[in-house]
Amino acid sequence: MKKNVLVIGAGGVAQVTAHKCAQNNDVLGDIHIASRTVSKCRDIIASIHEKKSMKVDGVLEAHALDALDVEATKALIARTGAQIVINLGSAFVNMSVLQACIETGAAYIDTAIHEDPLKICENPPWYGNYEWKRREACAAAGVTAILGAGFDPGVVNAYAALLVRDWMDETDSLDIIDVNAGSHGKWFATNFDPEINFREFTGQVWSWQNRQWTSNQMFEIRKEWDLPVVGASTTYMTGHDEIHSLSKNLDVPNIRFWMGFGDHYINVFTVLKNLGLLSEQPVRTAEGVEVAPLKVVKAVLPDPSSLAKDYTGKTCIGVLAKGRKDGKDAEALIYQISDHKEAFEEVGSQGISYTAGVPAAAAALLIATGEWDAKTMVNVEELPAEPFINLLNRIGLPSRVKDAAGDRDLAF
């Protein structure tokens, strides 16, 4: 049994996680929020009080922290007595925060792979580049480190494990499908930091096909789906963290990730990319100003956090498995529908932040109760899926399944 949570980061996802931790602080104990910009932590705390998210009276504090500084992070863990650290900072701080956890014994949770700021969109094996190199150190220290515990990666890893175990005897393919059918009402905006958003789509994309890494260009492979609730959806094959861990942990020859994009997004992206405006390499204007074009694009685009209040519509994220069961072809989709407006009303963030932030709080709760306190480094598909799915059903992300037997709630 572990308690007291330190949330690192103060963006839209951190806001959701902090609200969910507060709503369950009878189990989790003290809640601390740390970021380089302490005012953003205070804003989240104000939002938690405004929405009356604290289940019981308790500690809720803001801290200034440079999470690249391992010693400072260790000191904050010690000072707060946090036994669970939820790292929702930029992708660049994963390894320093993990190191602080290994040295203090605190459990570690994150939602996305580590990135080196100097290397854009590294090639697989993604977890092998940084995270898994620390697995033995975690095991030796008895430290629980849960990697990729957002929605995708995260919940979809649990869906994939369930589908392979219970719905199939032999699984041919897993297709992870992420569609945002919502509308922010702006002519164009990215749903999260444009710099990170565009970086994801600038290079090659990787998929696991015929048990091999396969490379394509972004927006090269398009696929239409007919999904529950959101209906007909256009997606493109994209590289994504969980393809790597699932390809190692599940015996499935084809694992692909599909992200929904409208024609308008792709057109704007294509124009910006082809003109060189998504480059991180500085250019020099005729007046002698040196600036990376991508930074200027970021400066003119709407601040993603400003979108939440007007966001309407729904998201659908799921995993479609195809294979054979009892000697027959079989197909099953486990999925989750979230609503942008409901998310904003509950926790002040839009649906995309909501789907990423709730599972991280769920992972913290399962560590607190001991069900996921693995004492080593794991990806979500290696942990028991049932308590996770049941907990998510209760705290805001109900799952459903659609198979030959129909379309119904998923619970255990």
Residue 351: which of 334, 365, 335, 337 has the closest Cα?
337
Q: Closest approach of Cβ 190 to a copy of itself, in Å?
A: 11
Is residue 289 part of the contact set for a copy of itself (CB under 8 A)?
yes
CA 407: distance to chain centroid? 26
Q: Between residues 208 and 269, which has the closer beta carbon with respect to a copy of itself?
A: 269
Place of tokens 């009402």: 185
Q: Closest approach of Cβ 267 to a copy of itself, in Å?
A: 7
∠ CA 241-162-352, rounded to 5°: 45
Could you tell me how many residues of this chain bind a copy of itself (CB under 8 A)? 27
Is residue 293 part of the contact set for a copy of itself (CB under 8 A)?
yes
Kindly state the tokens that stand for 225. 């789906």
Distance CA 285, CA 24 (A): 52
Kindly state the tokens that stand for 353. 């932040």
Kindly state the tokens that stand for 224. 């239409």
C-beta of residue 376 within 8 angstroms of C-beta of residue 143: yes
When binding is defined by CB under 8 A, the residue of 52, 57, 263, 300 that contacts a copy of itself is: 300
C-beta of residue 190 within 8 angstroms of C-beta of residue 304: yes
Q: Which stretch binds a copy of itself (CB under 8 A): 6-14, 73-81, 124-132, 282-290?
A: 282-290
Q: Which stretch binds a copy of itself (CB under 8 A): 128-136, 291-299, 328-336, 374-382?
A: 291-299
Q: Between residues 107 and 272, which has the closer beta carbon with respect to a copy of itself?
A: 272
Residue 350: which of 396, 393, 307 has the closest Cα?
307
Is residue 296 part of the contact set for a copy of itself (CB under 8 A)?
yes
310: helix, strand or coil: helix
Which of the 8 DSSP states describes residue 373?
A: -
Q: Which stretch binds a copy of itself (CB under 8 A): 51-59, 252-260, 286-294, 329-337?
A: 286-294
Q: Between residues 202 and 390, which has the closer beta carbon with respect to a copy of itself?
A: 202
Q: In the window 106-135, what residues touch a copy of itself (CB under 8 A)?
A: none
Distance CA 87, CA 110 (A): 5
Residue 21: which of 399, 395, 398, 397 has the closest Cα?
395
Is residue 210 part of the contact set for a copy of itself (CB under 8 A)?
no
When binding is defined by CB under 8 A, the residue of 27, 137, 141, 277 that contacts a copy of itself is: 277
Q: Closest approach of Cβ 287 to a copy of itself, in Å?
A: 6
Q: Closest approach of Cβ 379 to a copy of itself, in Å?
A: 32
Is residue 185 part of the contact set for a copy of itself (CB under 8 A)?
no
Which of the 8 DSSP states describes residue 68?
A: T
Residue 338: which of 322, 357, 354 has the closest Cα?
354
Q: Which stretch binds a copy of itself (CB under 8 A): 28-36, 157-165, 281-289, 350-358?
A: 281-289
When binding is defined by CB under 8 A, the residue of 49, 133, 222, 295 that contacts a copy of itself is: 295
Is residue 301 part of the contact set for a copy of itself (CB under 8 A)?
yes
Site residues (vs a copy of itself, CB under 8 A): 187-188, 267-268, 271-272, 274-277, 279, 283-287, 289-291, 293, 295-301
